């Protein structure tokens, strides 16, 4: 009989910093999280370590007993207890609310920045604080993952210790402190003794894989962080409820709202709504999501499959906006069904149409005048699902008469969102062609009449043959629509502010050359005084789309540091190229990959556009919880960013560039 799954939690909240600016909401965060966990039916082994500011600060110690202080000794003991006593399959939650700082680290590579996060712990000594370095926390987490534990970490602190310490004009507390070399020196040797030197384990080779730093390589665990690496984490004033960390307060509020009535929700969807809330009420922060999106401490609330929903929100003046725009393939006239987040049925209420498209957001209006009043009731946190496209970028497909006469064709064709099927015998321009081959199978050809590589055919007499071949077309068309997204009104000044280069050699046909097993590099140099955000998607010859950043355990993007003086910031991404075994088994010794990159001046989420390899039944394999026939819908549904202010069309810049790489043995 299998052992029951145990739940473990280490909750850390630090208000009192004797040698630094104390906080007022971290202990409240810890108590709120403890209360939430204790309110659930599942029992949890909880260790709570808090430091409340004493009324007499000259005492130098918190009000709690010494055994509950969040110092290095107690934190390390709590981590080691879980490593020792938890069993494979157990779920672990680690929560930290307090100050964060960034310290110099030789462990971080591939970026101009050589700093890593450190958690600032309390100490009852002459210094008053100590650091738990990020790399050593990662080593502890890795030991848990290697043992088979499912680990979730929520960090409600700043990643940006380089930001000078000060008070915001609204008197909200900032959860960062200045780096102190004497504190770091005391911690370094002790950490190495406790956890050992940290090393990143490499994954099995794939056709392409990105190599990552530890903080964005948590393949076996999930990290939810309060803000981006160049942002600050704040406490917010909740009126009569006092102060709390913005991340802690909103994360658990949304987790409760999205899971009412026993519903489950995808982690990515939860994160998208979290960012939508930050956008509306606290745009200074962009919460980050790293690692495994589907196995978390809250696995009973998290599911792998989720409707392809896009967050809606209310802008100034009551305007209703969709969190997707030109950079995501949205066009004026696209139609969306609205879905509330507070009903167990997630019922569709009405249909909205895109009236105006911005770079990253779109204005929405009711399709029917009679529904305009209903639309006024829609709230931030509700969602929309694409039900009709008006985009001219849909792929025109010539279909045979036999397909159109299939009794299931008319019902199946209504679900197509990226395909314009045309019954025609004339010599017209088509992006794709469906024909019946010599084996009486439906097969898909390109515009020149050549069979597309690595696509299944569908026997004409197979049950639901029409639906199956149309799903194949949907998969291929969504792939091509995403491949074709480009900025048709580029900003020359923005493009001149960065340089994107590739280390691979290039042939006369413009294709880059790589050798099987070779590592080559994409490098972004940033001459701006603000960070840039860099996305890499791999579009394979097998009609798969993968986000190389999230595949390696990261979020949606890399952050490219700003310039320092006259020295550009830079980010180098090593990519290992490989000819997949499935290709080699077919006798092929080379393959082509399309690398589609995006550079933006603000963070957005493209996390959901991944598509697996299409199979004969129209489903995809080799992907993480995404329906491949709707892969491009995930691109639309996962937009999430923190805009500064309400003038959202101002200063929103993006560019895309494509690299075609041929890898040969």
> 486-518: per-residue pLDDT in tens?
888 888 999 999 999 888 778 777 788 888 888
How far is residue 306's CA from residue 299's CA, in Å, rounded to a whole number? 14
Answer whether residue 261 shows pLDDT above 90: no
> 402-417: per-residue pLDDT in tens?
888 877 787 777 777 7
Token pair of 293 as six digits: 């999106």
492-604+641-664: CATH topology is Immunoglobulin-like (2.60.40)
> 206-236: per-residue pLDDT in tens?
345 544 454 544 556 788 888 877 777 888 7
pLDDT value of residue 412: 77
Q: What are phi and psi of 29, to 5 degrees?
A: -55, -50
Domain locations in the chain as residue ranges = 7-202+218-291, 309-388, 395-484, 492-604+641-664
Between these two residues, 427 and 139, which has the higher pLDDT value? 139
Q: Measured between alpha carbons, how far is residue 262 from residues 35, 370, 381 in Å? A: 19, 33, 18
- Mean per-residue pLDDT of the chain: 75
Between these two residues, 261 and 258, which has the higher pLDDT value? 258
Q: What are phi and psi of 214, to 5 degrees?
A: -60, -40
pLDDT value of residue 218: 56
> 59-94: per-residue pLDDT in tens?
889 999 999 999 999 999 999 999 999 999 899 999
CB of 224 closer than 8 Å to CB of 288:
yes
CB of 409 closer than 8 Å to CB of 417:
no
CB of 535 closer than 8 Å to CB of 572:
no
Between these two residues, 482 and 612, which has the higher pLDDT value? 482
pLDDT value of residue 187: 54
pLDDT value of residue 90: 92
Give the single-character DSSP code of 281. H
Can you count the helices (H) and strands (E) in the chain? 14, 35
CB of 28 closer than 8 Å to CB of 243:
yes
- Count of Cβ atoms closer than 10 Å to residue 337 Cβ: 18
pLDDT value of residue 246: 86
pLDDT value of residue 604: 78
CB of 340 closer than 8 Å to CB of 398:
no
Report pTM.
Answer: 0.67
Lowest mean pLDDT among 151-165, 169-183, 560-574, 580-594: 169-183
> 23-64: per-residue pLDDT in tens?
989 999 999 999 999 988 889 999 999 999 998 888 889 999
CATH of domain 309-388: 2.40.10.410
Please name the CATH architecture into which domain 7-202+218-291 falls.
Answer: 3-Layer(aba) Sandwich (3.40)
Which residue, 118, 110, 95, 128, is CA-closest to 20? Answer: 128
Confidence of residue 323 (pLDDT cuts 50, 70, 90): confident
Answer whether residue 200 shows pLDDT above 60: no
> 174-184: per-residue pLDDT in tens?
444 454 555 55
In this prediction, residues 5-9 reach a mean pLDDT of 92
């Amino acid at each position: 009989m299998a052992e029951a799954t145990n739940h473990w939690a280490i909750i850390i909240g630090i208000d009192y910093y004797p040698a630094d600016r104390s906080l007022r909401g971290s202990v409240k965060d810890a108590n709120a999280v403890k209360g939430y966990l204790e309110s659930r039916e599942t029992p949890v082994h909880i260790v709570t370590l808090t430091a409340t500011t004493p009324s007499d600060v000259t005492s130098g110690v918190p009000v709690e007993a010494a055994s509950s202080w969040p110092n290095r000794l107690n934190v390390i003991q709590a981590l080691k207890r879980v490593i020792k006593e938890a069993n494979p399959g157990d779920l672990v939650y680690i929560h930290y609310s307090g100050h964060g700082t960034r310290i110099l680290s030789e462990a971080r590579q591939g970026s101009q920045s050589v700093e890593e996060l450190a958690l600032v712990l309390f100490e009852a000594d002459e210094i008053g604080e100590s650091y738990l370095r990020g790399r050593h926390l990662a080593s502890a987490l890795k030991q848990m993952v290697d043992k088979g534990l499912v680990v979730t970490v929520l960090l409600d602190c700043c990643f940006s210790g380089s930001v000078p310490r000060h008070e915001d004009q609204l008197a909200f507390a900032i959860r960062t402190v200045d780096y102190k070399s004497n504190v770091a020196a005391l911690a370094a040797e002790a950490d190495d003794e406790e956890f050992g030197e940290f090393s990143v384990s490499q994954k099995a080779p794939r056709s392409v894989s990105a190599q990552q730093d530890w903080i964005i390589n948590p393949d076996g665990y999930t990290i939810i962080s309060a803000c981006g690496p160049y942002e600050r984490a704040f406490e917010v004033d909740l009126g009569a409820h006092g102060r709390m960390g913005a991340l802690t307060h909103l994360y658990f509020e949304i987790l409760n709202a999205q899971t009412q009535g026993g519903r489950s929700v995808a982690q990515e969807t939860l994160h998208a709504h979290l960012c939508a809330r930050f956008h509306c009420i606290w745009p200074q922060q962009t919460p980050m999501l790293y690692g495994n999106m589907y196995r978390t401490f809250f696995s009973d609330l998290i599911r792998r499959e989720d409707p392809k929903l896009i967050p809606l929100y209310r802008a100034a003046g009551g305007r209703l906006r969709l969190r997707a725009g030109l950079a995501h393939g949205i066009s004026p006239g696209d139609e969306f069904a609205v879905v509330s987040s507070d009903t167990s049925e997630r019922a569709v209420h009405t249909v909205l149409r895109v009236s105006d498209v911005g770079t990253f957001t779109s204005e929405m209006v009711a399709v029917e005048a009679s529904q305009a009043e209903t639309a006024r009731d829609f709230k931030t946190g509700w969602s929309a699902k694409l039900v009709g496209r008006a985009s001219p970028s849909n792929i025109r497909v010539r279909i045979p008469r036999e397909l159109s006469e299939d009794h299931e064709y008319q019902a199946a064709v209504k679900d197509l969102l990226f395909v314009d099927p045309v019954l025609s015998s004339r010599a017209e321009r088509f992006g794709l062609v469906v024909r019946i081959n010599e084996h009486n199978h439906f097969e898909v050809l390109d515009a020149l009449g050549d069979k597309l590589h690595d696509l299944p055919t569908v026997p004409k007499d197979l049950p639901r043959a029409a639906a199956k071949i149309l799903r194949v077309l949907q998969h291929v068309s969504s792939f091509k629509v995403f491949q074709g997204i480009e900025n048709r009104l580029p900003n020359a000044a923005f493009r001149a502010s960065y340089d994107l280069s590739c280390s691979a050699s290039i042939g006369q046909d413009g294709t880059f050359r790589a050798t099987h097993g070779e590592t080559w590099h994409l490098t972004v140099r940033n001459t701006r005084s603000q960070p840039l955000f860099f996305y890499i998607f791999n579009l394979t010859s097998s009609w798969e789309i993968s986000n190389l950043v999230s595949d390696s355990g990261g979020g949606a993007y890399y952050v490219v540091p700003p310039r320092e003086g006259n020295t550009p910031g830079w980010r180098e991404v090593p990519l290992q190229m490989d000819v997949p075994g499935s290709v080699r088994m077919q006798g092929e010794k080379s393959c082509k990959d399309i690398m589609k990159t995006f550079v933006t001046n603000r963070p957005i989420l493209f996390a959901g556009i991944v598509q697996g390899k299409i199979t004969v039944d129209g489903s995809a394999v080799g992907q993480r919880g995404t329906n491949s026939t709707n892969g491009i819908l995930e691109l639309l549904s996962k937009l999430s960013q923190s805009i500064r202010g309400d003038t959202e069309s101002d200063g929103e810049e993006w560019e895309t560039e494509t690299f075609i790489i041929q890898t040969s043995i």
